[in-house]
Structures are given as structure tokens and as C-alpha cells.
């Protein structure tokens, strides 16, 4: 695969300060497909300087002009859609149709939504004798994970640019090629030099340098709760804005009146997509005791059909980690009804679509984020029991509720401690705020709520 050997800083590809490289691996066959530079604090410093220098002019650019630039960026992403999908498939391992539809398709939708929002958002309002201005927070340090490599970049960069902020991005070490492609798209869209900058590198080196940099006004992070806590602490000590999009252990609550086959089928598909590497995946399926056995049979059958359609996990570490969780589930007494810990192929980081029955709420596989194709089916006795189980983790990112009618599902969803709930299979909405309750994070992404994260307010009194 084609890769740049430098960093995108100040509108050009510049040589990295150091000589260390990151090897990019195709998780489907474990072959090295490219190398990118491993950035250091020096590269981060150069990128933050470029972002600071570009900030006054970009912040002063009329929103309609910023909107036009984001629309141009969206158009480049559309034109390069196939290349994006191929790149994500090569470095993440997602099957190509999924890469085309989701990994390339969703960022195009999100970029388009911010082109519109930048043009229509009320950056100024009258409140009594005051005029209140929504002004950009400043320089944004964006740190993104590998699981939806382009989506997570666009979900931060597009609203930041719409708000008038400038950005330094440190993408995940496993998926830097998608980030380089995005930087090319920014360049092609003629977004002014320094408004977007890219430093590839390792989390504890380049990521940490960015999170700690005094020239960064807001850190927006998506990834593990462990790293998120550290970034939140650093930002807190510096009285710096922070947005954290962390892990999840979301519940798929199937009420007794639901269409069981549909609820189970969609629930399994929700987890198996992207090989279970989705922070908002409904990895706990909650089923009433009266329909439990039927649900288990349907889930096992649905998981089996995913056997050869599922991609690998991203890397060897995740492969070992997820299989370790499956072994732990067996050891703690859960019953395997599909899949298991054995690697299904000789080569590549594949895990079989796995379903556990007889999972109790306190088991490790019901509490911790596995980040693989593993569903735990938990039995409940009544609605209060279901609610207690649904809310019984440290997380609160997403969820689903299925019932005979929407009103019944809504009543249950309103009692859930979680940021997003799909009612009877509700569709993805790129304008709906996305983010977590409890330890799933701080702040919201997407739509106008996502834009507001990058704004601060100033009021003038007359
Ligand atoms: P991670 O380490 O939290 O990675 C997220 C991003 O943070 C990456 O760009 C990473 O760089 C960077 N990073 C790592 N350590 C850092 C530090 N000390 N300071 C600043 N930035 C740092 O997540 P991971 O290791 O890739 O995955 C581990 C687990 O996190 C997964 O199993 C899953 O449970 C969870 N996860 C959640 C999400 C989500 O969407 N909520 C996404 C990915 C992972 P490197 O790429 O170099 O590590
Ligand atoms: Mg990591």
C-alpha cells in the first residue's frame, strides 16, 4: 500500500523529526503492507505551532466559507470512496462491502452534515440586552482509535472545522494509512494550510505529547477507558476542555412482547458487524425467562451464518485478548452455544462468532468490554430485573429496546442510564448526539451537539 514517509503539517508533507517507523499490518494475512513514521514530541510541537498560526484566520473565516470548504472535503471523500474502503480493509481487515457501506459511507454522511450545520448554525444570538457569540475553542488535539478509523477522524475534524477550530490529529498506530488518505483529501479540498495537521505515532509518545501540549485548548479522545481517564486527569490539571468517547457494554433488551426473531437477528448482526469492534455494540442480550431458550437457539443459528462473512480482529494483541475473554467465560460457567476460543483459521487474527448462554450479570464477560464478536445472553425475571441488569455496569454508551409497540419500549429506554437507545430497530441517524453516560465518556459527538463541543461562549451587554 502507498504511504507517506512524513507528517502533514502546515499544508505540506514534512520529514519526521525522528527515524522510527510503524509497520502497518494486514490483519487478514498478518503481512506488513506499509510503514509510516512514528512521530515524537518534536513533530507534535511543530504541528501544534502550525495549528496555532492558522487559527486566527480560520476562526475569522465566515461560517458560510468554512461550510463550503467542508463540502469540498466531503466531495473529495465521495470521489475517493473506493480507495478509502480498500485502505480500511487493508489495515483494519473489515470485509470490503462493510468498508464501502460503513467505513467510507458514514464519514461522507457526517462530513455532509457538518457542511450544512456550519452554514445554518446560530453562532450568534440575542438574550435580553446581550449578544452571545459562539466562538471556536481554539486548537484541538484529536486522538482516535482504529475501529472506525475514518469515521472517528471525521466525527472530530468536521465539527472542529465547522466551529472555526484548527486541529492536530494523532490517529491509531494500527490504522495510519486511512488518516494519511484523509490528510490528502483535506489538501485536495484546499483547506488552508495549518487548519488540519497529522502526526502519526504511538499513543504513549505522540498521543501523550499532544494531550499534554500547552498549545492545545481542547483534547478530544476516543478509545479505551483506561487511557481516557489519564487524558481526562491531564486535561483537568491544566483546566483544559476535554471530550472523551470511551468504552461500552450495551444492553439489547428484548421485552416479552417483542418480535423475538427480529430482535435476536438484528442484535447478533449489530455485534458481528466490524467483528465486534464497536464501542456501542449491544454485547449483552437480555431476554425474559419465558422466551430464553427460544432466543438462545435463534442467536446460535444467526451467529453460525456469520462464520465466513466476518473479518479478523485488528491485531495480534486484540486476538489474544478476545480469545482470553472467551476462555474466561467458559471458566466462569457460561455455556457456549456458538463459536469458541479456538482460532478458526491458520492465518489472520480471526475469531469465530461466539454466543454464550447462561451468562449471569456479574460474570466478567457480562461486565467488561471484550471488543470482539462475542454476545452474552442473560436471563431476566421481570422488567425491574431487566433494568437493574441493563444499568448494572460502569458503562452507559448505547443500547436497544424491543417491544410490541414503541411506547412500551420508550418507557423502558427512558429508565436506562445510557446515551443512545435504538427503539425496535431504529436506524442510525448521523445528526443524533452520540456519547456516554457514566464511564462511557464525557461530551457528545455528531450533529449540533457535536458542534457545540468545539465552541465557547462570549456575551456582550448593551
Ligand atoms: P487505546 O490505547 O485507548 O487507543 C486509542 C488512541 O489513544 C490511539 O490513538 C492510541 O494510540 C492512543 N493512546 C494510547 N495511549 C495513549 C496515551 N498514554 N496518551 C495519549 N494517547 C494514547 O485503545 P487500544 O489499545 O487501541 O484498544 C484497547 C481497548 O480499548 C479495546 O479492546 C477496547 O475495549 C477499547 N477501545 C474502545 C474504542 C471506542 O470506540 N470506545 C475504540 C478502540 C478501543 P495507539 O494506537 O498507538 O495505541
Ligand atoms: Mg493502544
Nearest CA to ligand 1 atom 18: 204
Nearest CA to ligand 1 atom 38: 223
User: What are the pocket residues of ligand 1 if the criterion is a CB atom closer than 6 Å to any ligand atom?
Assistant: 143-147, 170, 172-174, 202-204, 207-208, 211, 222-224, 227, 230-231, 245-247, 279, 369, 371
- Crossing angle of helices 149-163 and 176-188, in 10° steps, is 40
pLDDT in tens, 160-218: 999 999 999 999 999 999 999 999 999 999 999 999 999 999 999 999 999 999 999 99
State mean pLDDT over 121-139.
98
pLDDT in tens, 349-403: 999 999 999 999 999 999 999 999 999 999 999 999 999 999 999 999 999 999 9
| 374 Cα–ligand 2 center, Å | 21
Nearest CA to ligand 1 atom 43: 223
In angstroms, the CA 132 to CA 130 distance is: 6
Going from N- to C-terminal start, the domains of the chain cover 6-246+439-461, 251-429
Tell me which of 224, 278, 397 to substitute to probe ligand 1's pocket, judged by most ligand atoms within 8 Å of the beta carbon: 224
Atom of ligand 1 nearest to the CA of 211: 20
Atom of ligand 1 nearest to the CA of 201: 47
pLDDT in tens, 59-98: 999 999 999 999 999 999 999 999 999 999 999 999 999 9
In angstroms, the CA 98 to CA 113 distance is: 21
| pLDDT of 309 above 90 | no
| 207 Cα–ligand 1 center, Å | 10
What pTM did the predictor assign? 0.98
Contact 282, 251 (CB under 8 A): yes
The pLDDT value recorded for residue 438 is: 97
State mean pLDDT over 6-27.
98
Mean pLDDT lowest for which of 128-132, 183-187, 343-347, 429-433?
Answer: 343-347
pLDDT in tens, 227-245: 999 999 999 999 999 999 9
**Which is the catalytic residue, given 91, 173, 212, 279?**
279
| pLDDT of 433 above 90 | yes
* 245 tagged catalytic: yes
Homologous superfamily assigned to 251-429 = Aldehyde Dehydrogenase; Chain A, domain 2 (3.40.309.10)
| 145 Cα–ligand 1 center, Å | 5
Confidence of residue 307 (pLDDT cuts 50, 70, 90): confident
| pLDDT of 308 above 80 | no
pLDDT in tens, 381-392: 999 999 999 999
Contact 333, 327 (CB under 8 A): no
Mean pLDDT lowest for which of 161-165, 303-307, 325-329?
Answer: 303-307
State mean pLDDT over 10-19.
98
State mean pLDDT over 121-145.
98
In angstroms, the CA 172 to CA 155 distance is: 15
Nearest CA to ligand 1 atom 40: 279
Nearest CA to ligand 1 atom 28: 224
Ligand 2 is a single-atom ion; what residues have CB below 5 A from it?
203
What's the mean pLDDT when you consider all of the chain?
Answer: 98
Atom of ligand 1 nearest to the CA of 173: 46
**What does the chain come to in residues?**
462
In angstroms, the CA 119 to CA 313 distance is: 39
Which CATH number describes the domain made up of 6-246+439-461?
3.40.605.10
Atom of ligand 1 nearest to the CA of 245: 41
Query: Percentage of the chain surpassing pLDDT 90?
Result: 99
State mean pLDDT over 423-452.
97
* 42 tagged catalytic: no
| 222 Cα–ligand 1 center, Å | 7
Tell me which of 223, 240, 374, 420 to substitute to probe ligand 1's pocket, judged by most ligand atoms within 8 Å of the beta carbon: 223
Amino acid at each position: 500500500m502507498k504511504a507517506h514517509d512524513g507528517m502533514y503539517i502546515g499544508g505540506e508533507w514534512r520529514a519526521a523529526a525522528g527515524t522510527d517507523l510503524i509497520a502497518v499490518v494486514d490483519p487478514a494475512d498478518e503481512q506488513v503492507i506499509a510503514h509510516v513514521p512514528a512521530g515524537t514530541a518534536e513533530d507534535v510541537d511543530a504541528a501544534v505551532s502550525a495549528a496555532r498560526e492558522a487559527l486566527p484566520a480560520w476562526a475569522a473565516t465566515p461560517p458560510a466559507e468554512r461550510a463550503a470548504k467542508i463540502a469540498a472535503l466531503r466531495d473529495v471523500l465521495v470521489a475517493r470512496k473506493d480507495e478509502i474502503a480498500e485502505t480500511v480493509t487493508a489495515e483494519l481487515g473489515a470485509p470490503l462491502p462493510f468498508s464501502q457501506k460503513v467505513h467510507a459511507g458514514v464519514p461522507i454522511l457526517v462530513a455532509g452534515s457538518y457542511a450544512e450545520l456550519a452554514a445554518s448554525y446560530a453562532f450568534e444570538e440575542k438574550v435580553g440586552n446581550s449578544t452571545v457569540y459562539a466562538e471556536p475553542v481554539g486548537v484541538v488535539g484529536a486522538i482516535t482509535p482504529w475501529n472506525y478509523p475514518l469515521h472517528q477522524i471525521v466525527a472530530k475534524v468536521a465539527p472542529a472545522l465547522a466551529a472555526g477550530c484548527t486541529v492536530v490529529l494523532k490517529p491509531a498506530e494500527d490504522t495510519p494509512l486511512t488518516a494519511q488518505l484523509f490528510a490528502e483529501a483535506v489538501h485536495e479540498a484546499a483547506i488552508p494550510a495549518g487548519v488540519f495537521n497529522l502526526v502519526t505515532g504511538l499513543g504513549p509518545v505522540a498521543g501523550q505529547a499532544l494531550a499534554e501540549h500547552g498549545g492545545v485548548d481542547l483534547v478530544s479522545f476516543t478509545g479505551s477507558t483506561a487511557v481516557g481517564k489519564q487524558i481526562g486527569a491531564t486535561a483537568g490539571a491544566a483546566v483544559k476542555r476535554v471530550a472523551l468517547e470511551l468504552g461500552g457494554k450495551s444492553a439489547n433488551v428484548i421485552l416479552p412482547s417483542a418480535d423475538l426473531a427480529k430482535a435476536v437477528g438484528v442484535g447478533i448482526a449489530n455485534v458481528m458487524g466490524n467483528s465486534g469492534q464497536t464501542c456501542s455494540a449491544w454485547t449483552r442480550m437480555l431476554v425474559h425467562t419465558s422466551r430464553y431458550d427460544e432466543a438462545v437457539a435463534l442467536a446460535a443459528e444467526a451467529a453460525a451464518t456469520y462464520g465466513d462473512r466476518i473479518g479478523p480482529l485488528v491485531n495480534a494483541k486484540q486476538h489474544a485478548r478476545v480469545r482470553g475473554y472467551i476462555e474466561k467465560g467458559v471458566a466462569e460457567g457460561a455455556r457456549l452455544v456458538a463459536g469458541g476460543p479456538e482460532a478458526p483459521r491458520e492465518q489472520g487474527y480471526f475469531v469465530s462468532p461466539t454466543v454464550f448462554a447462561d451468562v449471569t450479570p456479574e460474570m466478567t464477560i457480562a461486565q467488561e468490554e471484550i471488543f470482539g464478536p462475542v454476545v452474552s445472553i442473560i436471563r431476566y425475571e421481570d422488567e425491574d430485573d431487566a433494568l437493574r441488569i441493563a444499568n448494572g455496569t460502569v458503562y452507559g454508551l448505547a443500547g436497544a429496546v424491543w417491544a410490541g409497540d414503541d411506547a412500551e419500549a420508550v418507557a423502558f429506554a427512558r429508565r436506562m442510564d445510557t446515551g443512545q437507545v435504538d427503539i425496535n430497530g431504529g436506524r442510525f441517524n448521523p445528526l443524533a448526539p452520540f456519547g456516554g453516560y457514566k464511564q462511557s465518556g464525557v461530551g457528545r459527538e455528531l450533529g449540533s451537539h457535536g458542534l457545540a463541543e468545539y465552541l465557547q461562549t462570549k456575551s456582550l451587554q448593551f
